[in-house]
A and B are shown apart, each in its own frame.
Chain A
Amino acid sequence: MKSEYKTLGTSQNSLIKKIRSSEIFYNYKHNLPGIIGSVIFVVTILIAIIGPFFTPQNPYNLVDISLSNSYLPPAWVEGGTIRFLLGTDGQGRDILSAIIYGSRLSLFISITAMILSCTFGILAGLIAGYYGGKIESILMRITDIQLSFPATLLAIFIMTVFGRGVDKVIVALVLVGWVRYARTVRGEVLREKTREYVDASKTIGLFDRAIMFKHILPNTLTPVVVLSTIQVGTFILTEATLSFLGVGVEITKPSLGLLVKNGFDVMFSGCWWISVFPGLYIMIIVFGINLLGDFLRDELNPKLK
């Protein structure tokens, strides 16, 4: 028993050591944008997960909200109170709480959509690249046509047909997003297919499925990681845009984009805080993700080394 623990301990130790002595970790420590990006990303995710335990009020709970607190400015502006740090909206909802709940929804939608579009895209890319022939040309023509059409516009039309809703936004984002994955993975598979290890696997009689998923797939994942990072940022912006245009999430559970929209009409009467802060928070999240994505791209791209 004791010796087992020991080996486990040492292997973990060596993994940490391996990471700490790796080139990527060294470059990461010396890359300020990478550090800033990853810190922003981790912190925003943490806020989304544990934030609701600390928010001053639950913006979805009507008992918490009082109309007498409507349109209060932020705490540092005359007329604001420390109770509502970033002010309140027309229904007396605390903007800070609304932003935290909204960021939960925005991140949930975009990360789920990223995982789903990643799965479908990888599958399509693997099949197209590995089998080639007719199935490849059909799949690639579909991606060609879709890529010649602006993603935002496509998402707007899908939402027009399906109607509002969180699940529908995710479907729209997946339908828009799988294409890039499919193309990237197919390109990688085409390169990997010519390698000797694939021939060797075929010679020893492995099934196609095993070769595709166990042997080729791991070698194509580097660009997929980079793409996924950036894709989360793109999805957050697309979801915000859809919600702003009124074809996104339902009004009862606002995402960050819908919060901005809600503040739009009252901005002309001087209540700027209702839309300024949610928009600013979208920008901060996506900025962090883009910094991280840039770092990963430069780091994982062997061509640049």
Chain B
Amino acid sequence: MLKLVIKRLFQMVLVLLIVSLIVFILSSMIGDPVSLMVPENASPEEVQAAREYLGLDKPIHVQYLIFMRDVVKGNFGRSYRYYQPAMKVILERIPATLEIVFLSVLITGVLSVLFGVYAGAYPKRSSSKTIMTFSIIGISLPSFWLGMMMIFIFSIYFGWLPPSGRGQLGTFLGIKSSLFTLNGLKHLILPAITLSLANIATLIRLIRAGMQETLKQDYIKYARSKGVSQRDVLYKHALPNTLIPVITIFGLQVGELIAFTTITETVFAWPGIGKLLIDSIYSVDKPIIVSYLMIVSAMFVMINFLVDITYIIIDPRVKIK
């Protein structure tokens, strides 16, 4: 097992290196920083001086090494818009994004398991068919439109919930978050639901299919004949085995969740890293775009790594391979 973990760790570093290379190449294609720095009537000598100052006159592999050195130090340059180190600007906004992602994972986990197990255990019931129809509608919805409809219905029409922004922050165990105040939660609920819906729909389908397969197996029949209650059969015997492949996909979906925060945060004007990225794309704020890319891809690679490790721990068969 340790050997597998080390192998995965090595792969993780390799992937991060490749990602950094791609980010470096892509970022060199987004606009020319020299033209942004020098005045329009600058002489060729001045342009050359700016080029040398930025290190753009050096060969491309040297530039990449300099870029990597800065990345390792966590130095991505200063944001053109906030006049602060890009890393600092992003780190300040990460808690707001993690809040929605956290609440969304919670909602997704609970609802998809409840509905998925039900639809898998009683596939013939009309309530199960309704659940499945809604899950197909759920994966067919553009999430930004869903968010807008929620704003329209719950904020504009009924006036129950605030349409945008992050609410009051509360402090609990030293962590500042809007999860701890009523006002904050009210602001959180619509973005979190918007972010969850597509994932709930996909997971319901997966869990249902898995449950149907698992429930056919002999050990379930044995548990039933032993007199185990229906609830224990479903949740204690069938569900754990169903969840093994689901966890991998759920892990990948947490990555997707972070990507989709760009959309949700734009719709709800939520001050997290997703909205920051879109704003930075509009204003070609390259240091922010690059640091977002590096931080977020590092997160994805970490998540994949953790999912693989969980897989090895839960499923003993993986070790044999």
Shortest distance from the beta carbon of B291 to any chain A beta carbon, whole Å: 13
Is A283 an interface residue, CB under 8 A from the partner? yes
* Chain B residue, CB-CB nearest to A163: B30
Chain A residues within an 8 Å CB radius of B142: 237, 240-241, 244, 257, 260, 279, 282-283
Q: How would residues 268 to 287 of chain A score, 1 for a CB under 8 Å from any chain B CB and 0 otherwise?
A: 10101001100100110011
Number of interface residues of B (CB under 8 A): 42
Shortest distance from the beta carbon of B217 to any chain A beta carbon, whole Å: 16
Shortest distance from the beta carbon of A29 to any chain B beta carbon, whole Å: 19
- Whether the Cβ atoms of B289 and A148 lie closer than 8 Å is no
Shortest distance from the beta carbon of B196 to any chain A beta carbon, whole Å: 16
- Whether the Cβ atoms of B18 and A145 lie closer than 8 Å is yes
Chain B residues within an 8 Å CB radius of A161: 26, 29-30
* Chain B residue, CB-CB nearest to A264: B148
Chain B residues within an 8 Å CB radius of A246: 278, 281-282
Shortest distance from the beta carbon of A248 to any chain B beta carbon, whole Å: 12
Q: How would residues 127 to 169 of chain A score, 1 for a CB under 8 Å from any chain B CB and 0 otherwise?
A: 0000000000000000001011110110011001100000000
Chain B residues 243 to 267 lying within 8 A of chain A, measured CB to CB, are 252, 255-256, 258-260, 262-263, 266-267
Contact count band on A:
35 or more
How long is the Cα–Cα vector from A232 to B63 in the complex, in angstroms? 40
Given A260-B142, A260-B145, the answer on whether A272 and B282 have CB atoms closer than 8 Å is: no
Shortest distance from the beta carbon of B105 to any chain A beta carbon, whole Å: 15
How long is the Cα–Cα vector from A152 to B252 in the complex, in angstroms? 13
How long is the Cα–Cα vector from A161 to B263 in the complex, in angstroms? 19
Chain B residues within an 8 Å CB radius of A233: 140
* Chain A residue, CB-CB nearest to B155: A268
Is A247 an interface residue, CB under 8 A from the partner? yes
- Whether the Cβ atoms of A241 and B148 lie closer than 8 Å is no
Is B297 an interface residue, CB under 8 A from the partner? yes
Is A192 an interface residue, CB under 8 A from the partner? no
Chain B residues within an 8 Å CB radius of A157: 26, 293
Is B38 an interface residue, CB under 8 A from the partner? no
- Whether the Cβ atoms of A267 and B30 lie closer than 8 Å is no
Shortest distance from the beta carbon of B215 to any chain A beta carbon, whole Å: 16
* Chain B residue, CB-CB nearest to A238: B142
- Whether the Cβ atoms of A247 and B156 lie closer than 8 Å is no
- Whether the Cβ atoms of B259 and A145 lie closer than 8 Å is no
Is A110 an interface residue, CB under 8 A from the partner? no
Other-chain residue from B141, B252, B255, B259 in contact with A283 (beta carbon distance below 8 A): B141
Is B162 an interface residue, CB under 8 A from the partner? no
- Whether the Cβ atoms of A244 and B144 lie closer than 8 Å is yes
Shortest distance from the beta carbon of A56 to any chain B beta carbon, whole Å: 24
Chain B residues 143 to 163 lying within 8 A of chain A, measured CB to CB, are 143-145, 148-149, 151-152, 156, 163
- Whether the Cβ atoms of A290 and B139 lie closer than 8 Å is yes
Is B300 an interface residue, CB under 8 A from the partner? yes
Given A149-B297, A244-B263, the answer on whether A287 and B140 have CB atoms closer than 8 Å is: yes
Shortest distance from the beta carbon of B187 to any chain A beta carbon, whole Å: 16
Shortest distance from the beta carbon of A227 to any chain B beta carbon, whole Å: 15
Is A294 an interface residue, CB under 8 A from the partner? yes
Chain B residues within an 8 Å CB radius of A145: 15, 18-19
Q: How would residues 121 to 151 of chain B score, 1 for a CB under 8 Å from any chain A CB and 0 otherwise?
A: 0000000000000001101111111001101
- Whether the Cβ atoms of B149 and A279 lie closer than 8 Å is yes
Is A291 an interface residue, CB under 8 A from the partner? yes
Is A43 an interface residue, CB under 8 A from the partner? no
Is B177 an interface residue, CB under 8 A from the partner? no
The winner among B151, B152, B267 for most chain A CB atoms within 10 A is B152
The winner among B143, B259, B304 for most chain A CB atoms within 10 A is B259
How long is the Cα–Cα vector from A3 to B156 in the complex, in angstroms? 72
Is A245 an interface residue, CB under 8 A from the partner? yes
Chain A residues within an 8 Å CB radius of B29: 161
Chain A residues within an 8 Å CB radius of B137: 283, 287
- Whether the Cβ atoms of A152 and B30 lie closer than 8 Å is no
* Chain A residue, CB-CB nearest to B135: A290
- Whether the Cβ atoms of B15 and A153 lie closer than 8 Å is no
- Whether the Cβ atoms of B256 and A267 lie closer than 8 Å is no
Is B100 an interface residue, CB under 8 A from the partner? no
Chain B residues within an 8 Å CB radius of A150: 255-256, 258-260, 300
Q: Please provide the 5 A-B residue pairs with the shortest distance between their CB atoms, ordered closest to farther.
A: A279-B145, A150-B259, A153-B259, A286-B140, A287-B140
> What are 18 residue pairs bridging A and B, where the CB atoms are less than 8 Å apart in the complex?
A145-B15, A147-B252, A148-B255, A148-B301, A150-B256, A150-B258, A152-B262, A156-B281, A157-B293, A161-B26, A241-B144, A241-B263, A244-B266, A246-B281, A286-B139, A287-B137, A289-B140, A290-B140
Beyond A279-B142, A283-B141, 4 additional contacts (C-beta under 8 Å) are A153-B296, A156-B259, A261-B144, A264-B148
